[in-house]
Amino acid sequence: MSPLEKIKNDIVESQVWKAIFRHGYDDTPRNRVMMVTANVFLHLHPAKVRRHAVRMRFTWCMGGLTFLMFLITAITGIYLMFYYRPVAEYAYADMKYLEFDMPFGMLMRNMHRWAAHAMIVFVWLHMFRVFLTGSYKPPREFNWIVGVLLLVMTLLLSFTGYLLPWDQLAIWAVTVGSNMARATPLLGYEGPFADFVGANPIYDARAFLFGGGEIGPHTLLRFYILHCIFIPLVASILMAVHFWRIRRDGFSGPSL
Amino acid sequence: MAEATRERKLPVDDKVHTWPHLVRMEFLVALFILGALTLWALTVDAPLEEPANPTRTPNPSKAPWYFLGLQEMLVYFDPWNAGVVLPSLIIVGLMVIPYIDINPKGNGYYCFKDRKWEILTFFFGFHILWITMIIIGTFFRGPGWNLFWPWQKWDLHKVVALTNVDLPYLVGFRDYWWSAVFSLVVIGGYFVATIALFYFFVLKVKGKEFIERWGMVRFSITAALVALMLSLPAKMALRLLFNVKYVLVTPWINI
């Protein structure tokens, strides 16, 4: 027995340890399966996976990391929600308050923002990897569609969040991004054939998005609710479907 | 026949336990990325500019970086097309990929040789068009959405000659109706030519048997999407080489 193993043995066999952990973990095939099937979170995975599918150069880990970024933004986002009011008079002041007065406020905000950006990069790389391995091919066609919808949700989550700091960067980036909506054919007042529908600046696709003719306090509240409740909810449902389908269809791989 | 069934080899079991093999890797990667993200967040602050002021438009106003490809497309197409129709088609085009790609090879493993054209098409759309446009929009666009080198000082008063003309005017049409007829012929001709070229191209690299297996519907959708995707570089070339603003001008719609 090596000294390290002896130390480990001394700890594990001590009365203090035994009082907390009644019995050890026996590394048997049955226990390995049980660790996965008896755990609500790990149960996302099948009990066994094909050997090639756990290699990093196959998966790039991008799907899982996109989900990790989602979790990080959810947790840091809840922290930010405690201090932030989506009201035009307060929003910017709350940002300053959060950055300078709240414990870990700046760190939480930074993590939230960089994780959101990383999530977009990861989801693009994930799509690229899935394309390269042809993992969208039968029977996984539908899951690719769910994945494309999740990509759109990721972009929308990031875009709606962009407005919330209520600084110059926020409103003008969102203005530029949303101005497209007023050019929607038929439904936007500057779009082709708008006259036939009767779209006008306060009654068209962009006004529906903004909650008014131009970007303002109503837009802030609208984007806040979309950002914190609606889109995360939709994305969560889509993720449940996405993961479930992976679980049912198995990880893709060459046929045996 | 019974003999053959009995002799069939059982599939090799190449599976490993999720616990610990997969879970361990997920945990380590998550830990590493979480650490890297925390370090990044500790060292680089998220931007916060002066308070929102609807009366002061910054020049340039840029969309979030992931939409700058679309904003860059606005140089070449009108907003209804660059901001609404083409993005929607990108999403639809991505969604139909599993249904138009009937190549059974390369399912679940990396393989370039068997799906060369599929991968090259994706590469062209994703890396060449989407990513390049984002890079141009992020690093090479300054005030007035004019082109600047990243190290160049932004000149707010940069003078750019407004020499863009519409394609019918460029080739000599002055009458509105003849211009419109010419434009429609050009646009129709572009789609007919691109789709025909695409047909012969597929015929050459994949063969007649493939086209029959592919079917009319799959071919039409793919050809239309390819033609639409190539319309961006086509319009870029017209603009950058010949200063063409629009190909078609009507009171309702400009292309």
The ipTM of this complex is: 0.91
pLDDT of residue A256: 65
Name chain A contacts of B40, Cβ cutoff 8 Å.
110, 114
Listed by number, the residues of chain A in 13-52 with a beta carbon closer than 8 Å to a beta carbon of chain B are 29, 32-33, 35-36, 42, 45-52
pLDDT of residue B251: 86
Q: Summarize pLDDT for B35-62 with one digit per residue, the tens.
A: 999 999 999 999 999 999 999 999 899 9
pLDDT of residue B19: 87
pLDDT of residue B138: 94
Place of tokens 């969040």: A161
Flag if B64 and A167 touch (Cβ within 8 Å).
no
Flag if B15 and A49 touch (Cβ within 8 Å).
yes
Residue B36 tokens read as 């890297």
Q: Summarize pLDDT for B233-246 with one digit per residue, the tens.
A: 999 999 999 999 99
Where helices occur in chain B by DSSP H, the ranges are 2-7, 23-43, 68-73, 79, 86-100, 116-123, 132-139, 167-170, 176-206, 208-214, 216-242
Interface membership of B106 toward A (CB under 8 Å): yes
Flag if B62 and A176 touch (Cβ within 8 Å).
yes
Largest CA distance in chain A: 86
Three-class secondary structure of residue A48 per DSSP: strand
Of B50, B98, B104, the CB nearest to A136: B98
Q: Summarize pLDDT for B186-227 with one digit per residue, the tens.
A: 999 999 999 999 999 999 999 999 999 999 999 999 999 999
pLDDT of residue B9: 56
pLDDT of residue B1: 43
pLDDT of residue B72: 94
Burial label for A25, CB within 10 Å (0-12, 13-18, 19+), is: exposed
Q: What is the pLDDT along chain A (256 residues), one digit of tens a residue?
A: 789 999 998 998 899 998 998 888 888 999 999 989 998 999 889 899 888 888 888 889 999 999 999 999 999 999 999 999 999 999 999 999 999 999 999 999 999 999 999 999 999 999 999 999 999 999 999 999 999 999 999 999 999 999 999 999 999 999 999 988 999 999 998 889 888 888 888 889 999 999 988 899 999 999 999 999 999 999 999 999 999 999 888 888 877 6
Interface membership of B113 toward A (CB under 8 Å): no
Rounded to the nearest 5°, which phi and psi values hold at B53? -140, 100
Flag if B56 and A168 touch (Cβ within 8 Å).
yes
Instruction: Tell me the pLDDT band of B162, cut-offs 50, 70 and 90.
Output: confident
Of A68, A151, A175, the CB nearest to B61: A175
Best mean pLDDT range from A116-125, A196-205, B75-84, B110-119: A116-125
Listed by number, the residues of chain B in 54-83 with a beta carbon closer than 8 Å to a beta carbon of chain A are 54, 56-58, 61-67, 70-71, 78-80, 82-83
Three-class secondary structure of residue B58 per DSSP: coil
Name chain B contacts of A42, Cβ cutoff 8 Å.
18-19, 23
Q: What is the dihedral of CA A142, A143, A147, A149, to 10 degrees?
A: 40
pTM of the model: 0.92
Flag if B122 and A165 touch (Cβ within 8 Å).
no
Average pLDDT over residues B147-158: 90
Q: How close A145 gets to chain B, by Cα (Å)?
A: 5
Instruction: Tell me the pLDDT band of B12, cut-offs 50, 70 and 90.
Output: low
Interface membership of B10 toward A (CB under 8 Å): no
Nearest Cα to B126, choosing from A125, A196, A141?
A: A125
Rounded CA-CA distance B250/B68 in Å is 28
DSSP state of A135: T
Average pLDDT over residues B98-107: 91
Q: What is the dihedral of CA B229, B230, B232, B238, to 10 degrees?
A: -170
Instruction: Tell me the pLDDT band of B10, cut-offs 50, 70 and 90.
Output: low
Residue B226 tokens read as 């390819």
Element (H, E) at A74: helix A62-81
